Amino acid sequence: MNFVLTLIIAFGISFILTPITATLSKKYGFVDDPRRHKHPAVLHKKIVPRAGGVPIFLAFLTAAILAVPYSQHLAGIILGGMILVLAGILDDKYDLASSHKLLFQLLAALVVVAAGIGISFITNPFYSFGIGASSVIRLDTFRIIFDFLGTHSIVVLADLFAIFWIVWVINMVNFSSGVDGQMPGIAAVALIVIFAASLRFYPQDPGQVIVSRLALAGFGATLGFLIYNFYPAKIFPGDSGSYFLGFLIAVLSIASGAKVGTAILVMAVPLIDGVFTIMRRIVLGRSPFLGDRGHLHHRLMEIGWGQRRIALFYWLLCAILGAIALTLSSFEKLFAGAIVAIIVVGGLLWLNMNLPLGVRK
């Protein structure tokens, strides 16, 4: 199946299933009710259906099965995604504890690693300056080999790094679920950049062609949902949507030749905002998982920006950084990421000093 057909199938299924999901979510109580859900970051005033991860996942699943041949890697991605969508749906209904959600995330990451998707090396960005003995840093040298229904091995550093990366991206993408359309738009940009990065190896590397098809399927599924999620949102992605999309971005960035640096630069703004938020909460003696109105998108609202403007601002920044990431070397990506971090952290510090938490407009 060609790329255009993959995109059309994923987009079409998501576009059709999203309003159906919204109707069923309202009927069975998978909703975000601001009168009951007293989260400080809640912006909406009326009941909005959740469970947006369901149409996104089903659209991706259908397009992926039709577009790429079955493999152990594909099975791991599908099973891991299914676990996270289930966790998100349960949270949409019952508000799971943070520790329970983390267990689901770890389980999904372990499934992917067990399926053979891992980070065996990372590029050494300082090699051109004579630092390091090799242009890559190997993570697959330390193995634990054991026998259990056959011979198996655990690639310790590679597997641990992959698990950390997947769980981290899941949570950072979830943190970017601020205003209507913000998170799906960021995810769509990240997926199309991964598609473009993998497409450069077409048709020489069949493995990269598979990654590009999966990224395009994710992009189409996200785009079909985004139409209904843009302000004013008719449905929210919920944790099921943000978890699955964060998971898909993390896994495909690994599968596309460990292009972790590219993914980091594309999502630099929400990732830096997420890290800053966690550190700020810890410094203030609060739980890093306890929500507040200190994210960048909240601060922008405090100075008068509307939800559409904020979402478009995030999309544009991610698109610009994504285009830049496709042309830079590893060291240049590191340098660009450092500049973005300085700018974003500086802006957040200024906003937090001038707009104390709790300010409303």
User: Over the chain, what HEC string results?
Assistant: CCHHHHHHHHHHHHHHHHHHHHHHHHHHCCEECCCCCCCCCCCCCCCEECCCHHHHHHHHHHHHHHHCCCCHHHHHHHHHHHHHHHHHHHHHHHCCCHHHHHHHHHHHHHHHHHCCCCCCEEECCCHHHCCCCCCEEECCCCEEEEECCCEEEEEHHHHHHHHHHHHHHHHHHHHCCCCCCHHHHHHHHHHHHHHHHHHCCCCCCHHHHHHHHHHHHHHHHHHHHHHHHCCCCCCCCHHHHHHHHHHHHHHHHHHCCCCHHHHHHHCHHHHHHHHHHHHHHHHCCCCCCCCCCCCHHHHHHHCCCCHHHHHHHHHHHHHHHHHHHCCCCHHHHHHHHHHHHHHHHHHHHHHHHHCCCCCCC
239 has binding-site annotation:
yes
Annotated binding residues for Mg(2+), written as ranges, equal 174, 239
Annotated binding residues, written as ranges, equal 174, 239
